[in-house]
Structure 1
Amino acid sequence: MPPMKEPAVKREIPLPVCRDACHKIMGIGPVSISVTLAMAFGSLVLVVGLSLLLILWDANETNTFNLINRSIKQLSHQLENDLNNHVEPLQTHLHGVAHSLQQGRLSFTAPHHLQAVFRNTLDWEPELHGLFAWSMQSGLVGMVRDESGQIRPILRSSEDADMERAAITKALQSKKPYWDEISLFRGLSFIHYTIKVEKEGKLLGILSFSISIPEISRMVAGIGKAVGGSGFLLRGEDAVLGHQQRLSQPSANLTIPIGNIKDPVLPNLWAGKDPPEEVIPTEAGLIVKFIEANEDEYLAVMRKVEGYGPKPWYIGAWFPADEIGGASVERLFLSGLIGLFILVFGVWIAAILGKRIARPIRNSAVAQAQISQLEVEHVQELPNSFFKELNDQANAFNTMLGALRAFERYVPRKLVADLMQKKMQMDGLSETRDLTVMFTDLAGFTTLSENLSAQEVATFLNEHFDLLGVAVERQGGTIDKYIGDALMAFWGAPEPLEDAPKRACRAALDIAAKWQRHNAERTEQNLPPIGLRIGLHHGPCVVGNIGFPGRMNYTIVGDTVNSGQRLESLGKEVAPDAQVVILISESIRSQLDESFTTTEMGACPVKGRQRPIAVYRLLPQTHGE
């Protein structure tokens, strides 16, 4: 029989032997737990922190670019709006005069009435230099502002005849209103806006107003200053129409080439670089340029404005580049630095926390190493730990240490060493608003109108309402209606106004000052002065479209309206002989500051109210009644 083979014996390699063999093969020794914990916590914090920092940086960068983009767009729209707010009211007023001529409320054959309207307009609109009217019947009439600022009738000169004929010929050939080219007139350069007035296909005459180039430059400089930059106005891409330099050169060339202007930016404007699309996306009419000049970088923001002549206008302002978004970019980098500091601080805290967690384990390892050398008498008990597992370990170790010390008394150390050695191998409706209401009324106008023709009454009322309307609209008010010779207006709708009472009071004071001047002119003409009463009240009103579907009015109703009208009527009792009396309620007075002067009139009974109301008189800024 063949010899029997011995069965294979499966031998298990002890775990410590396996671990030691791996360490030898890999060439590394055991890793410190304190280092491991510090690295683990630090790496976790580092990964999370870097992720958050990148997310925050991306968000802040996006927000910064959006903020810069919004700032530039708002700035460009503000430049365009400021220009239109200066020029469009002038055009609107001239069209209003043309409409009055077409409707017969004014007439080219009554030049003194036109001159009165022109004078009033020039008085209210400092940007205007002159207003002119021409007709076959009356020829050329107009009012101009002279060098001293006085408003006078235009004096015709034989030297102006050729220019006058050329302007009239061009106006007659034009089919629509137009802005003319810059012209030189009596040593000053001007730009004109002209309307041909027709009715039923028949020519009535021509209306025009002029703005001097120095005044345009003053207006542009003011617009630039308002946005914190240096303003400019170009006519086309190559001619400077408005600039600070032109204030001191009223008689210079009609246009200044952009390359000849004394300005650090404008000569190089169109050679400037366009901004990156991701910073400032393209928008119609918006032009942004980065310009390098004198080793400095500037940013120019412009809006292209059509409708002011054959060539487009470019209204703009330039700034040092670091003034546009500089603070936002600084905040972006500051937030990055703060985030980086927090990240480093977090890693540092994680490393400290890892070491503090590892310290009890390291102490335990040291103590166990001493025990392995049977140095039981030198081993210190482990302190309690904040962590439950480590605390349990410390308690178990201390118990074991006590047992070993007790065991050491009964068992020889050599025997203990032998035992240990053996063991060691085992995610369009109506609403109620607080509004300010104004009512005005002329005192004794019914009696006065009895001695006037219908045309004269209409002319007087038009001039009167023109004076009131300019003051109301200048302060952001809304004219509700005309009631005979009375006017009703309000502030706070449709656009909300936080300072509606102050705006209404400023409008009332403007009206009072102009009305006193109007009465002074009447006195010079041996005409009696006319009294004007104004009532102001503030409170809740229903505002919206009111009426039947075929005839709606945007108006206001409510007790506040009634009270405003009662205050105006109360003026005839409070100051019957005053040229102007302005009465306001407590709800108005309580919102005024020290720049307004009021005097208390006491509690006055008001029709329609059971209790009297506190009434105050707003005093005009000019003295006398």
Structure 2
Amino acid sequence: MPFTLRLTPTLATVIGTFVFLTTASVLYVEGTASRRIVAGLGSRLVDLGMDAYEQRFSSKINILRNQAGFIAAAFARGASPITLDEDVARLAFGGLAAAPEGTRITVARAAQGDALEISQMTGGGMMLRRFPQDASTELAARLTQAEAAAGPFWLPPDYDVLRRETLLSYVAPVRREGVYLGYAAVSIPSSGLSQIARDLSDSQLEVFLLYGEKELLAHPDLNPKDATLSEKNDLVDIGKAPDPLLARLASLTPVDPRRFDLGEAHAMFEGETEEHGRYYVVLERTAAKFGELPVITGAIMPASVLEQPLEELYISILIALSILVAALAGSAAMAYRIAQPIRRAAAGARAIARLDIAGLKPLPSSRIEELKDLASGFNAMTTALAAFVRYVPRSLVLKLLREGSGSAAPQERQVAVLFTDVVGFTSICEGMDARATADFVNHHLTLIGSVVERHGGTIDKYIGDSVMAFWGAPDHMDNPASSAAAAALDIERALKADNALRREKGLEPVRIRAGLHVGPLIVGDIGAPGRVNYTVIGDTVNIAARLESLGHAVDPGAEAVILASADVASALAAQTGASRPVITPLGEQTVKGKSQPVTVVRLSLPDDQG
């Protein structure tokens, strides 16, 4: 059996697939691009905040570098060993004029082992301190460290007891023609770095600076006068950071920074506070940006800063998916609406193939032009076929439909032919108008026609009140005479039942005569090419007609007289039981148009059925 498809699911699948592929492709492209853009919005905010801090921090670092380089260069250009009391003071005060608040400048001489320190104090004041030779082992160690250095370097943060805060120092060794002279150091307090963090932080983003991975160098909430700081404890340990989330950094959950379009140079952690909910902590190693100064820039932000744009994107995707589902449902509904009249047409075509036209409803019109044309053409075809079946034998139409043929070529068949005629039709209709006469004839022919069709016969023609029918064509029958005889007897039964109703109405009963014969006939399309009839021709037809005429002379008062040939009687010989009719031999009878007499029998209903 060939593979077939049903229209509605096929249309729904095809239309839905195109809708799905189109919408899904657009959604994928837009979603992917939008996610990248939206995810980048939060990461750009983080990057901008951290970059702003790095730029401000970098500006201070550059000042330190420039000041240290300026003083070191002046130191190296001196014609004679620099005099601390005059030259250093002059250079330092000049350098501090352009330096950030709280800057400290230190100049140390290797040959003398001494140093001079000038600090810019809060409010604009200056403080000068002199460190004589051998006054500090730290100074000697620093001179040795600078002598060994190949270039400028950063010192670890150190706590200034007098200032009570931690300083970050940049040291530039001084050499003249390869001879080591000492060093110039410029330092800035960590309070300045925390002030930058305060300036750049808000409710959405908080920036900070770590020294290494375990110490806090700058934070908006960091107190530079923290009592826990000392010469042995220069910086606040990250575990004691003023921010509770930052204090728990070691226990926070790592997050893949690529999820929010952050580079691999970042480290990201997720945490939660009872007061403010979920937060993200982002770290970026920035040592390479500041001459290998081991600092890490960081930022803390609420999770919503990064997630809200993504959540809104996901909501948009859900809305788009809902639209997609609605589009698929609409496609299915549209496919159903398109397929419905086609399905009805297909069901109608199957009914037409069975000639089951009576209960066939017309197809409704449609706003779709092609479906409208389909409905119009189908309804016109149904109407034409209904009319066609009324004028052409139903069995013939079914045969032609089965065979897919438009004609029935004449062929010889064994066929039983039945003629019926109303006795005294003229006198019955006397006094009737044309309408009443037509109603009477139609009623009588309907009664006979229904019996003929029920027994598989084909009505050849109506001749006034007479009926000609045959069995054995177009469909083959093994014993057409038996079916024809059964039909004739059922006609007698139907007639008697109808006459009973007529008597109740005070009408005269109708009497009929029937002739039945079986034999070889030519059956098929007979006539001119433009107008043919499906009929039978041959001597069998003539004999049946003559037997019907002969019946008028047999038992004139009977309601029904059915005369049949001996050939029909022979075909009925094998029947037994209640279905076997009463067969009364009438001997040989001479019929009009035949030189040889015909052996005739009368078929009657058994007495219990009569």
TM-score normalised to the size of structure 2? 0.51
Q: CA deviation at 1:280?
A: 7.6
SS of 1:150's partner is coil
Aligned residue number for residue 320 of structure 1: 302
Post-superposition offset of 1:95: 0.6
- Counterpart residue number, 1:190: 166
What does 1:573-592 align with in structure 2 at a 5 Å threshold?
Answer: none
Match of 1:210 in 2: 187
Mapping 1:520-531, distance limit 5 Å:
none
User: Which position in structure 2 is the counterpart of 1:343?
Assistant: 324
Whichever residue aligns with residue 356 of structure 1, its letter is R
Q: Say if 1:127 and 1:216, in contact at 8 Å, map to a contact too.
A: no
Which residue among 134, 153, 165 is the counterpart of 2:136? 165
Counterparts in 2 of 1:50 and 1:134: CA distance versus 1, 3 Å = closer
- Correspondence for 1:229 among 198, 205, 208: 205
Aligned mates of 1:257, 1:129 — CA distance in 2: 24
Report the counterpart of residue 75 of structure 2 in structure 1.
101
Give the whole-Å Cα distance in 2 for the aligned partners of 1:62 and 1:283. Answer: 13
- SS of the residue 1:197 aligns to: strand
Give distance in 1, aligned partners of 2:67 and 2:79.
15
Report SS of the residue matched to 2:280.
Answer: strand
Query: Which residue matches 2:428?
Result: none
Deviation sequence 1:87-115 (CA, Å, 0-9, x none): 13321232123223323599944966765
Cα deviation digits, residues 254-296 of structure 1 (max 9, x gap): 3322222332122221233333386489977643333345494
Cα pair distance change 1:368/1:53, threshold 3 Å? same
8 Å CA contact 2:108, 2:143 repeated in 1: no
**1:350 deviation in Å?**
0.9
Name the aligned partner's letter for residue 96 of structure 1: F
Q: Partner of 2:225 in structure 1?
A: 249
> Within 5 A, what are the aligned runs for 1:19-418?
33-34=7-8, 36-43=10-17, 45-46=19-20, 49=23, 80-104=54-78, 108-109=82-83, 115=89, 118-119=92-93, 121-135=95-109, 143-147=118-122, 149-152=123-126, 154-156=127-129, 165-173=136-144, 174-175=146-147, 176=149, 177-178=152-153, 179-191=155-167, 192-223=169-200, 225=201, 228-247=204-223, 249-250=225-226, 252-253=228-229, 254-276=234-256, 279=259, 286-294=266-274, 296-306=277-287, 312-324=294-306, 326-362=307-343, 364=345, 374=357, 383=365, 386-388=368-370, 390=371, 392-397=373-378, 399-400=380-381, 403=384, 408=387, 413=390, 415=392, 417=394
Partners in 1 of 2:54 and 2:32 — Cα distance? 33
Query: In the aligned structure 1, how far is the partner of 2:251 from the partner of 2:187?
Result: 33
Change beyond 3 A, Cα 1:357–1:120: farther
Aligned pair in 2 of structure 1 residues 278, 262: CA closer, same or farther (>3 Å)?
closer
Question: 1: CA distance between counterparts of 2:264 and 2:140?
Answer: 36
For the pair shown, the structure with the greater C-alpha radius of gyration is 2
C-alpha change, 1:219 and 1:367, in structure 2 (3 Å) is same
Structure 1: 5+ residue stretches without partners: 1-17, 23-29, 427-625
| Aligned length, in residue pairs | 388
Q: Distance in 2 between matches of 1:342 and 1:163?
A: 83
- Cα distance in 2 between the residues matched to 1:315 and 1:359: 69
Alpha-carbon distance in 2 for matches of 1:109, 1:142: 13
Distance change >3 Å, CA 258–CA 412, structure 1 → 2: closer
Are the aligned partners of 1:133 and 1:140 in contact in 2 as well (CA < 8 Å)?
yes
How far, CA to CA, are the matches of 1:163 and 1:301 in structure 2?
46
Q: Distance in 2 between matches of 1:333 and 1:212?
A: 46
Q: Pairwise mapping of residues 516-555 of structure 1 onto structure 2 (< 5 A)?
A: none
SS at match of 1:131: strand
CA contact (8 A) 1:122 1:129 kept: yes
Distance 1:416 1:165, change over 3 A: same
Structure 1 distance, partners of 2:6, 2:291, is 83
Equivalent residue letter for 1:182? D
Check the 8 A contact 1:194/1:206 in 2, yes or no. Answer: yes
Compute the displacement of 1:335 (Å): 4.0
1:337 deviates by 0.8
Percent identity, aligned pairs only, is 22
- Asked if the contact 2:239/2:246 (under 8 Å) is kept, the reply is yes
Secondary structure at the residue paired with 1:233?
A: strand
Instruction: Give the AA of the match of 2:65.
Output: Q
Query: Contact 1:190 / 1:210 at 8 angstroms: preserved in 2?
Result: no
The alignment's TM-score, normalised by the length of structure 1, stands at 0.50
Q: Does the 8 Å contact 2:365/2:375 carry over to 1?
A: yes
Q: CA deviation at 1:143?
A: 4.4
**What amino acid sits opposite 1:241 in the alignment?**
L
CA RMSD of aligned residues (A): 4.7
Matched-pair contact (CA < 8 Å) for 1:188–1:212: no
Cα-to-partner distance string for 1:496-555 (whole Å, 9 max, x where unaligned): xxxxxxxxxxxxxxxxxxxxxxxxxxxxxxxxxxxxxxxxxxxxxxxxxxxxxxxxxxxx
Q: Give secondary structure in 2 for the equivalent of 1:240.
A: strand
| Partner-residue secondary structure (3-state), 1:246 | coil
Where does structure 2 lack aligned partners over 5 or more consecutive residues? 404-610
Give the 3 Å change call, closer, same or farther, for CA 383–216 of structure 1 in structure 2.
closer
Q: How far apart, CA to CA, are the structure 2 residues paired with 1:416 and 1:113?
A: 135
- CA distance change for structure 1 residues 257 and 277 in 2, over 3 Å: closer, same or farther? closer
Distance between the aligned counterparts of 1:257 and 1:163, measured in 2? 33
Taking a change above 3 Å as real, the CA distance of residues 415 and 310 of structure 1, as seen in their structure-2 partners, is closer
Deviation at 1:45, TM superposition (A): 3.5
Secondary structure at 1:196 match in 2: strand
Contact conserved, 2:71 with 2:92, CA < 8 A, in 1? no
Query: 1:182 Cα shift?
Result: 1.2
SS at match of 1:94: helix
Q: Distance in 1 between matches of 2:281 and 2:70?
A: 37
For the residues of structure 1 that align with 2:365 and 2:80, how far apart are their CA atoms? 105
